[in-house]
Amino acid sequence: MPPGRTEAGVTMTEVDSADRLLFLHDADVVPGPVGALAQLAEQLVVEVPRHPGFGTELDDAARDWDSVADLAQHYLSTMPAGQPTHLAGAGFGGWIALEMAVRAADRFASLILVAPYGVKLFGPTDREFADVLLLDPVEVVELGWADPAACHGLRMPGFPPGQDDEQIERAFLDREALCRYAWKPFMHDPRLRRWLHLVTIPTLVIAGERDRLVSPEHSRQLAGLLPSARYVELPGTGHYPYLESPDAFTAAVTSFLATRQKMGAEQ
């Protein structure tokens, strides 16, 4: 049964509303609790921080950071202790979340990954990740959405059309930050894969069936390398299911969190 709003409503009561969800954003996503994240904020304390370099007061300090490990280190070292935290990340943010999880899995109650970059799985001539740094915004939308006409919540240089110079400059600076973190090897770190077995916390990997930026097959195989991962593929959605199919996304996450809590209670 495709999960829907009703199911999300039912399971809501089973999620502890004191829980905190730290959601790490993808490269070209506008700031804030967009799409499904706003829905989840009704049940959880949802935090969607901007990554240093993407328009934050830490941008200057982060100018010398040149790896996603730097971002992982930053989030781990600034995270408040005590409160149960679910760690989530989408795309580029999913990569950061993985880097955090291999370093300190025990600091998180669970891990939710949405079509994450970060791990190269196939051969050297297999282009696993679309080149978002080269492609025009319309191509990114074409590859990243099941229904490109429905695209919203993204910000790239010159997209959406009608940006003023300041907005375009901001979008270029976001891309520049992404370059610093992820230029080479492109969108992955070969040192990450060898530690995936340390991610022993309950994990949910969500992919959109129509994602052509990171193929669902990639996400599925990555889930297979994580010790406690469940893989969910959402139909009729692309790389941004929390934007394109917020209800289904919320339902999948809520169901995962509820099951996880139930399992925890039985143990």
**Interface residues with another protein (CB under 8 A)?**
131, 133-136, 157-158, 165, 168-169, 172-173, 175-176, 178-180, 183-184
Choice between 68 and 88, CB closer to another protein: 68
Min dist CB 135 to another protein, Å, is 7
Min dist CB 92 to another protein, Å, is 14
DSSP per-residue letters across the chain: ----HHHHHHHHTTS-TT-EEEEEPPTTBPSSS-THHHHHTTTSEEE-PPPTTSSSTTTTGGGG--SHHHHHHHHHHHSPSSS-EEEEEETHHHHHHHHHHHHHGGG-SEEEEES--B---S-TT---B--TTTS-HHHHHHHH-SSGGG--SB-BTTBSTT--HHHHHHHHHHHHHHHHHHTTTTTB-TTTGGGGGG--S-EEEEEETT-SSB-HHHHHHHHHHSTTEEEEEETT--S-HHHHSHHHHHHHHHHHHHHHHHHHHH-
Min dist CB 137 to another protein, Å, is 9
Choice between 139 and 247, CB closer to another protein: 139
Min dist CB 39 to another protein, Å, is 32
Choice between 38 and 133, CB closer to another protein: 133
Choice between 76 and 179, CB closer to another protein: 179
Choice between 16 and 176, CB closer to another protein: 176
Min dist CB 24 to another protein, Å, is 20
